[in-house]
Amino acid sequence: MEYKIDERTITLMISGELDHHTLRDTSRELGQIIDIYLPKKLIFDMRAVRFMDSSGIALIIKAIRRMTELSGEVVLRNVPPSPMKIFAMAGISRYVTVEEGGKAV
């Protein structure tokens, strides 16, 4: 997974297809990145996601759990329409900030 670090903010570039098969590696990498850098803010940049099913919800929930332990926050940025439909169904915007082009929506 590609990511950028700016002080205590980490931006994860999520790409490709997010399903149960790809979740295992992505989820493990996510855990490692959080453990190493102990960020205050974790941004998921999802512009390059081509497919996502409910596995994506489990991934974000894991991130929220870990970031809550660190008193940090989770941001979803540039979520394409189809993944957004799934996040909306799960009511994810109650727990994270959803941004588009850097602006909250």
Ligand X SMILES: Nc1ncnc2c1ncn2[C@@H]1O[C@H](COP(=O)(O)OP(=O)(O)OP(=O)(O)O)[C@@H](O)[C@H]1O
8-state DSSP, 38: -
Are 74 and 62 spatial neighbours (Cβ–Cβ below 8 Å)?
no
Residues 54-73, mask of contacts with ligand X (x by CB under 6 A): x---x---------------
Read off the amino acid at residue 88.
Answer: A
CA 99 – CA 39 distance, rounded (Å): 19
Size of the site for ligand X (CB under 6 A): 2
Tell me how many degrees the CA angle 82-88-89 measures, rounded to the nearest 5.
Answer: 95
**Residues forming the site for another protein (CB under 8 A):** 17, 19-21, 23-24, 27, 51-55, 57-58, 61-62, 81-82, 85-86, 89-90
Between residues 13 and 61, which has the closer beta carbon with respect to another protein? 61
Between residues 40 and 62, which has the closer beta carbon with respect to another protein? 62
Point out which residues bind ligand X (CB under 6 A).
54, 58
